[in-house]
Amino acid sequence: MLKFVILSAVLMATIGAFPAVAGTDLKEDPSCAEVNYSYAATRSSWFYSAKLYDARSDGSLKQIGEMRFGKETAYFHDLAKPKWTRSNRMNWTLMDVDGPKFRSCVLVDEGTEEGKKVKHYTATWHQDPYNAYIDIWFWSEGKRMVRAKRHFMDENQANLEFGTTAGTVMEIFDYNPMTGGAPYEL
């Protein structure tokens, strides 16, 4: 019994010394507080849409998909396929399997777009199995995302999975409730 207690104590001490897988931290990165708030405000919105683009190396954008989110339903259209797909809206989270979704956030700039103040941050983004360097622009007031540009660390993975040419996806958000509704093509 004493051996079991000692072994259990050693195991608990080891687990306490290594609280996360492969040395990662399972707490939110404090440098990403505004980015996390923006992500939460965006993903909590009931009716919104986002268009996905292949951000090409020459700076041009080619639309590759569209997402629409209702209160409980999500719709996705991969433009390489003829039809929209419908699913239950997934719960969003600020954490990934190996820690925070956003890490190492840096405020790059504050500007104005269409008469609204916008903040621009850079960070690293994780959503298993993907990792990317991300630029995020969000409104200073209301904190919802305007756009997000992800340059995937594994460009080939992004090119194969998302149909990109340079491993970069631009997501542009629209909060008009009419764009968040069910598509007619269903």
CA nearest neighbour of 103 among 177, 25, 16: 25
3 state DSSP class of 77: strand
Is 111 part of any domain?
yes
CATH code, domain carrying 63: 2.50.20
Is the bond into 82 cis (omega within 30 degrees of 0)?
Answer: no
Is 57 part of any domain?
yes
* DSSP H or E segment with residue 182: none
Is 21 part of any domain?
no
State pTM to two decimals: 0.82
Measure the CA–CA gap between 28 and 166, rounded to whole angstroms: 30
Its domain, for residue 56, covers 30-174
- Sign of the alpha-carbon torsion through 84, 85, 90, 94: negative
Under the banding of pLDDT at 50, 70 and 90, the label for residue 69 is very high
% helix / strand / coil in the chain, to the nearest 5? 25, 45, 35
Count structural domains, the chain.
1
pLDDT tens digits, 16-43: 332 333 445 578 899 999 999 999 999 9
Query: Residue holding tokens 């608990």?
Result: 12
Is 118 part of any domain?
yes
Asked whether residue 52 carries a pLDDT value surpassing 80, the answer given is yes
CA angle 34, 56, 170 (to 5 degrees): 25
In the chain, the percentage of residues whose pLDDT exceeds 90 is 65
Is 155 part of any domain?
yes
Is 25 part of any domain?
no
For the segment 136-151, the average pLDDT, to the nearest whole number, is 95
